[in-house]
Each structure stands twice: as C-alpha cells, then as structure tokens.
Structure 1
Amino acid sequence: MADKDFTHQLNGWRLTTAEITYQMPDYRNLLQIYIWQDYDKAPQFPRLIKFLDFWSRNLDGPLASVRVAHAGLVGPAELRHVGAEWRLH
C-alpha cells in the first residue's frame, strides 16, 4: 500500500509552503509570521484556502499578507558538472 502523501504527489499535489504575516491581536502595530506547510494542488490551493478561511473566522489576528511557494518532490534527479575536483587522501 502506497503512502498517502506519495499518492498525492503522483496526482499532481506538491509540497506547498505559505509565509503568513498577521497582526498581533492586542498590538496591531506588531506583525508576526506563521509558516504553514502541507501538500496542496496549484494553482487552486484548496487546503491553503481552507486554512486561511479557518484563520479568518476563528482567530483574532487579522492577516496582513500571504506568500506562497511550492515545489515538486517527485521528478528526475538533477546532475550538474561542478567544474572542480578536490581530493582528500
């Protein structure tokens, strides 16, 4: 039986990281950063949207900004020539 995350990757889901900047509930001039990471499907990002909806409904700190990055983990290996060689012993 395959791992659930691996199956998602084969179906187009990628590891997604969101940097969420929000205002502190008691001190609106202070910003805090929260890092969220999960497997999600670009460009709709259904899990991230669900999490941000939950945040907006249930948490007191209003969102200031959200930066999203995602990358595929399943793919061909990348090999590059370094152009130099060092030997130990």
Structure 2
Amino acid sequence: MQPNSRHPLDLQLNGYRLATAEILYHLPDHPGILQSLLWQHYDIAPHYPELKRFLAYWRRNIEGRLHSVRVGRTPLLGPSRYRNCAGVFRLH
C-alpha cells in the first residue's frame, strides 16, 4: 500500500500515524559537522517501513553519512489540538 495515494484519514484508519524523524548526518565536505533534517510521513510504528525505505534511499544516493535518527509519532485518532496564541512578534 502506498501512503501517498490515499487520504490521511484512510491511512490513519489502517494503522498509519504521522511520524516525524530528526535525521542527523555528516556534511560530505566537512565530516566533523552535523546537519539536521526533519522528515515527516505517514508510517506504521514500530517498524516504520516508509522511514526505512527513505533511509535506504539515503544510503544509496546521498553522500552525507548518517549519524543518528530520532523518531516521534502522533497518537491514535483524536481531535486536533488548538493552542491560543498570546501574541505575534515580528523581527525586521
């Protein structure tokens, strides 16, 4: 089943949750420096097949060597969360 081809609610009803991964990798030209990438996709915990597919692609095609991957996910279906904004600040 391809997650991209279905509506998010359909995916959630089939066990998919929005997974967020923070991927740290070494810069190819400066291996002592780490860069961060945030990846989000609908995936199935705890095996995360979509994330594993993405990381396999990374290892095959991208020069930056992976350092670490930290994964978080949304809980089961529930209402959206609403947070009141106390103020808006602009920096010129």
Give the shorter-chain TM-score range. Answer: 0.7 to 0.9
User: How many residues were matched structurally?
Assistant: 76
Structure 1: where are the runs of 5+ without partners? 79-89
Distance change (3 Å), C-alpha of 1:69 and 1:25? same
Q: Percent identity?
A: 49
- TM-score, normalization by structure 2: 0.76
CA RMSD after TM alignment:
1.8
Q: Find the residue that maps to 1:25 and give its secondary structure.
A: coil
Q: Find the residue that maps to 2:31 and give its secondary structure.
A: coil
1:9-48 equivalences in 2 (<5 Å): 9-48=12-51
The equivalent position to 1:65 in structure 2, one of 65, 68, 76, is: 68
Structure 2: where are the runs of 5+ without partners? 1-5, 82-92
* Consecutive aligned runs of 4 or more in structure 1 exceeding 2 Å deviation: 75-78
The one-letter code of the counterpart of 2:33 is L
Q: How far apart are 1:24 and its partner, in Å?
A: 0.1
- TM-score, normalization by structure 1: 0.79
Q: How far apart are 1:77 and its partner, in Å?
A: 7.7
The residue number in structure 2 matching 1:81 is none
The residue number in structure 2 matching 1:86 is none
1:46-85 equivalences in 2 (<5 Å): 46-72=49-75, 74-75=77-78
Q: How far apart are 1:75 and its partner, in Å?
A: 2.4
Q: Find the residue that maps to 2:15 and give its secondary structure.
A: coil
